[in-house]
Structure 1
Amino acid sequence: MNKEGLLYIIKEKLSERVQKFELLIAETRASNNDTKSSMGDKYETGREMLQQEINHLQRQLNEVFNQQALIQKIVPEPSFKVQNGALIKTNKGLFYVSVSIGEITFENQKIMTVSAESPLVKAMFGKKIAEKFEINNVHQTIENIW
């Protein structure tokens, strides 16, 4: 399995998210400047709501920056146990331990990207091929690790 290509796709998706949040923040700031009127308190309330939205978007953008920093530390070397950077095949699916950005399709396979902090990864962390683990009363067997 080509983990370099998988990492590239994740980095691209994170870059797209950064651009999306930066655009949303810029648009929200612009609308904040456009809301000037003589309506007094309603104007101030509207400005405060827009500022709260900007703050919320900024927190989300910072989380994506944190994910980018984490993904930069991952090296696409082969793994022999479940650890950060490992691609794991279980009898239930493919999981890539990196950052949590959801399901991606790579080499015609659906791969769920999961954080090392997720309960799933914590349940299988350190395990090797053919070992079993359980999460939410679902038993899984590790079939392969790249």
Structure 2
Amino acid sequence: MLSLKQELLRKCFESVDERIKSAENAIVSAKEASQDDTKSSAGDKYETTREMMQQEISRNEAQLYEAGKLKHALSQINIEKTSKTIQNGSIVFTDKGNFFISVSAGQFIVEEQVFFAISAVSPIGKILVGLEKGSGFRFNGKEYRITQVY
């Protein structure tokens, strides 16, 4: 199970690194666009474009900050730690899907199985944390049964 956890954690890091790179590239592009724009005879066009680019930079800086927080959260996960109850770093197998409690990073296929990387503070993560093998829970109108926790 350790190799499965390692692979899921690696995929989460890759996903977060892609978010960071995307936000950094968008910031650079917006800064270049802002600097390249020259004042036109249309008056306010220059200032409007600069303001739009500044808003774009600010939005991407916020995304970069959030991605940095996700990367830090991932670095805090100890994949060697095991517990009977679900916690950060747990792999959870249910009769309707598999989850990796880490950060919200989407869906991954590892060892020919689908896993959803979810945060412990996401709606389903809040339900799962503290449960153990054999427990049942209801989410979005569906009944789930936990078959394994690693």
Length-normalised TM-score, structure 1: 0.94
Alignment check: 8 A CA contact 2:86 2:128 kept:
yes
Structure 2 counterpart SS, 1:76: coil
Question: Equivalent residues in 2 for 1:1-146 (5 A)?
Answer: 1=1, 2-38=4-40, 39-77=42-80, 78-146=82-150
Q: What's the CA shift for 1:79?
A: 3.0
Length-normalised TM-score, structure 2: 0.92
Q: Distance in 1 between matches of 2:127 and 2:5?
A: 23
Q: Distance in 1 between matches of 2:136 and 2:120?
A: 18
The range that moved more, 32-41 or 108-117, is 32-41
Q: What's the CA shift for 1:51?
A: 0.5
Q: Return the structure number with greater relative CO, CA threshold 8 A, min gap 6.
A: 2
Structure 2 counterpart SS, 1:14: helix
Q: What's the CA shift for 1:124?
A: 2.1
Q: What's the CA shift for 1:82?
A: 1.1
Gaps of 5+ in 2: none
Structure 2 counterpart SS, 1:27: helix
Task: Kindly report the root-mean-square deviation, in angstroms, between the aligned alpha carbons of the 2 structures.
Answer: 1.2
Q: What's the CA shift for 1:110?
A: 1.2
The range that moved more, 76-85 or 48-57, is 76-85
Q: What's the CA shift for 1:11?
A: 1.1
Q: Deviations over 1:11-69 (max 9, x none)?
A: 12211221121111101110111111223211101110110011001111111000001
Q: Distance in 1 between matches of 2:126 and 2:18?
A: 28
Structure 1 counterpart SS, 2:144: strand
The range that moved more, 31-40 or 85-94, is 31-40
Gaps of 5+ in 1: none
